[in-house]
Amino acid sequence: MIPFTAFAEVVAYAAGAALLAGAAGVSALYALRGRSIATLLAVVSAATVLATVAGIVAITLKMLISDHDRSVALTVTVIGGLVGLGVSLLLGHRLIGGTRSLLVSVRRAGESGRFRLPERRLPAELAELGTELSTAYENLDAARARERALESSRRELVAWVSHDLRTPLAGLRAMAEALEDEVVADRATVRQYHAQIRAETDRLTAMVDDLFELSRIHAGALRLSRQRVGLGDLVSETVAGTEPLARAKGVRLRGQAQGALPVEVDAAELGRALRNLVVNAIRHTPEDGGVEIVAGAEEGMAYVAVSDACGGIPDEDLPRLFDVAFRGEAARTPGGGAGLGLAIARGIVEAHAGQIGVSNAGPGCRFIVRLPLGA
């Protein structure tokens, strides 16, 4: 039995020596902080062995154990330390292998744009890092695809718009020249030319106006002056504004609202979006067909649905309908629209935190706009 004071002394010596060894280990870790994980793990093993050896030496100095015991203790410690070092190196090797394979995956992703997780089993943290990287690359991929689609639709838009503007401008010029040179002189033709020049000018003005609206939407510069209005009133106004077009085409137009439906919207902008939907519906509905606008509330959202008798839209066109400059085959005829109406409608509805969608229904298709209901 060793006396208490001697025991306390041994503890103090051993702790002091271990602390010194620990401090040396920490300093070494700091100095080597940029080195490989394997080196750092070797330092940890070395510090542990050093602390134990320092403790044993401290006890020997107090002459509490015999030389023989000391040799045995030191040998055991060194063997233990060597085994520990081996295990550390093995762990370091595994970590380095995992990191390298992750690095290879990242490099390959840089070349191919597709990230594939390494096949080997990674330690939890590296596996988590790999999963995060995988998600990040997927998001990046999706963003790139969106960017490409937007870019190509912009290019198409420029091509189509310049074509759409050039054709009527050439016609206007030809008519103006004919009038100027008095190539046409009979009153009826002159009147017809004047009317045509006016109509074409109106169409071009509307197209330029649409382009301006679209560029404001894309630039995020759409300033909404929101007011509380009843969605039913907006529907009535839209019906009143598009009635002459429907009558001229022989299409029955009907508007209907269920309830008060208060919404906080920019009435002018939302009216424009609804008008675009209704004008499309009338344009694509044959004579004697019907167009119906219904406003209501559902699951805490207000909605306006515009149904027509267009005969259905091809399924492959449905997802692209709201793209800038998209026009169905039949619509790509001279005098048709520029393919801006639905893109504008979507931009306006989304600026109001709403959603717009389309589906085939009944004798035609149904566009539906959902908006948050005002409190």
Ligand X SMILES: Nc1ncnc2c1ncn2[C@@H]1O[C@H](COP(=O)(O)OP(=O)(O)OP(=O)(O)O)[C@@H](O)[C@H]1O
Which residues here bind ligand X, judged by CB under 6 A? 210, 276, 280-281, 284, 308, 310, 313, 321, 326-328, 331, 336-343, 365
Q: Name 24's Cβ contacts closer than 8 Å, sequence gap at least 6.
A: 47, 50
Kindly report the backbone phi and psi dihedral angles of residue 41, in degrees, each rounded to the nearest multiple of 5, phi listed first: -65, -35
* Cβ atoms of 293 and 235 closer than 8 Å: yes
Q: Should residue 341 be labelled a site residue for Mg ion when binding is judged by CB under 5 A?
A: yes
Q: Should residue 347 be labelled a site residue for Mg ion when binding is judged by CB under 5 A?
A: no
CB of 337 to Mg ion, least distance (A): 4
CB of 336 to Mg ion, least distance (A): 9
Choose among ligand X, Mg ion, none what residue 338 binds, the Cβ cut-off being 5 to 8 Å by kind: ligand X
- Which of 137, 326 has the CB closer to ligand X? 326
Please, which of residues 161-180 interact with Mg ion by CB under 5 A? none
Q: Cα angle at 190 between 189 and 196, to 5 degrees? A: 85
CB of 154 to Mg ion, least distance (A): 19
CB of 111 to Mg ion, least distance (A): 43
Choose among ligand X, Mg ion, none what residue 328 binds, the Cβ cut-off being 5 to 8 Å by kind: ligand X
Please, which of residues 247-306 interact with Mg ion by CB under 5 A? 280
Binding mask 122-161 for Mg ion (x = CB under 5 A): ----------------------------------------
DSSP state of 320: G
| Percentage helix, strand, coil for the chain under 3-state DSSP, each rounded to 5 | 65, 10, 25
Choose among Mg ion, ligand X, none what residue 313 binds, the Cβ cut-off being 5 to 8 Å by kind: ligand X
- Which of 74, 204 has the CB closer to ligand X? 204
Distance (Å, whole) CA 320 – CA 317: 5
Kindly report the backbone phi and psi dihedral angles of residue 122, in degrees, each rounded to the nearest multiple of 5, phi listed first: -100, 155
* Cβ atoms of 292 and 251 closer than 8 Å: no
Give strand pairing partners of 254: 292
- Which of 25, 364 has the CB closer to Mg ion? 364
Choose among ligand X, Mg ion, none what residue 310 binds, the Cβ cut-off being 5 to 8 Å by kind: ligand X
CB of 262 to Mg ion, least distance (A): 28
Residue 1 burial by CB count (10 A; 0-12/13-18/19+): exposed, middle or buried?
Answer: exposed
Choose among ligand X, Mg ion, none what residue 210 binds, the Cβ cut-off being 5 to 8 Å by kind: ligand X
- Which of 109, 342 has the CB closer to Mg ion? 342
Kindly report the backbone phi and psi dihedral angles of residue 229, in degrees, each rounded to the nearest multiple of 5, phi listed first: -135, 165
Helix H or strand E encompassing 329: none
- Which of 13, 367 has the CB closer to Mg ion? 367
Which of 98, 130, 255, 337 touches Mg ion by CB under 5 A? 337
- Which of 112, 333 has the CB closer to Mg ion? 333
* Cβ atoms of 325 and 340 closer than 8 Å: yes
CB of 289 to ligand X, least distance (A): 11
Residue 17 burial by CB count (10 A; 0-12/13-18/19+): exposed, middle or buried?
Answer: buried
Distance (Å, whole) CA 370 – CA 295: 10
- Which of 117, 207 has the CB closer to Mg ion? 207
CB of 280 to Mg ion, least distance (A): 4
Distance (Å, whole) CA 170 – CA 175: 9
Give strand pairing partners of 253: 291
Please, which of residues 3-62 interact with Mg ion by CB under 5 A? none
Give strand pairing partners of 306: 293, 367
- What are the residues binding Mg ion (CB under 5 A)? 280, 337, 341
